[in-house]
Amino acid sequence: MSEGPTGESWVQRSVLADEVYKQVLSRLMDGKLSSGDPLSIDGTARELGVSPTPVREALARLESTGLVTRVALRGYRVAPMLSHAELSDLMDARLLLEPHNAEVACNRADPAFLDALGRSIEDLRVAPNGPHFSDYRSYWEADERFHRLIVEQTANKFLLSAYDSLGGHVHRFRLFSGVGVRDAESAIDEHTRILTAMRRGDAGAARVAMASHIYGVGERAIHEYEASDEKAPGRTA
């Protein structure tokens, strides 16, 4: 494909890679791909009717989220479910990072930022949250947007990089469980408390509210993990 003066070919390739990313992500989150399953670039390209290039780009993006892994000379595979210990470690890392992000973002808050946070919460309220990823994708995206808006408001590229390194790990405990989102009401209330503190300009309260939220998410995630683990007696942590 020749590239026009405005770079149409690059735009089309980028859009195609985004669509492939969404397709593979849906299969991962719905458990259609099991832990350890190989992810063939050529096979996925044939299945989706695209060239290998957007598949390669999509899988590289998924690798950065932790949802897939790449082994030298063996290609990509579906990442294993987080162990109980890994899930606890992940929440500890979030407890160190995200309350600080909330405090800094509060000190830098402006009306546009606060309005955007408010819209993300409203989107959470109206988003469906059934058992399949297609049911709760919009909820997942609104939740991610809330936290990303906060870290971006810090204007600290190192905090953003640290946040990105956690990425999809935050949702990996949902893989293969088929339970969807069960804590929507709690999460929305917790997000609202964070926003309320920020609207008051109370950075300390914003930090405490975020810490309470992350702690609550962690407790609920571990409960879901243990519940799904009981349904799969052959799993080892």
pLDDT digits (tens, 9 = 90+) for 22-35: 888 888 877 778 78
User: Which of 58, 16, 26, 22 is closest to 40 using CA atoms?
Assistant: 58
Tell me the C-alpha to C-alpha distance, in Å, between residue 168 and each of 2, 9, 133, 164.
35, 29, 14, 8
Lowest mean pLDDT among 48-52, 92-96, 131-135, 193-197: 131-135
User: With pLDDT > 70 as the criterion, what percentage of the chain qualifies?
Assistant: 81
Q: Is residue 181 pLDDT above 80, yes or no?
A: no
- pLDDT recorded at residue 210: 97
Q: Which domains does the chain have, with CATH numbers?
A: 8-78 (1.10.10.10), 84-230 (1.20.120.530)
Tokens encoding 173: 């405990």
Task: Tell me the C-alpha distance between 51 and 57, whole Å.
Answer: 11
pLDDT band at 1 (very low <50, low <70, confident <90, very high): very low
Cβ 81 vs Cβ 235: under 8 Å: yes
Task: Tell me the C-alpha distance between 16 and 9, whole Å.
Answer: 10
Taking only the tens place, the pLDDT of each residue in 79-103 is: 887 777 888 888 899 999 999 999 9
- Following DSSP, what letter does each residue of 100-120 receive, concatenated? HHHHHHHHT--HHHHHHHHHH
- pLDDT recorded at residue 227: 65
pLDDT band at 145 (very low <50, low <70, confident <90, very high): very high
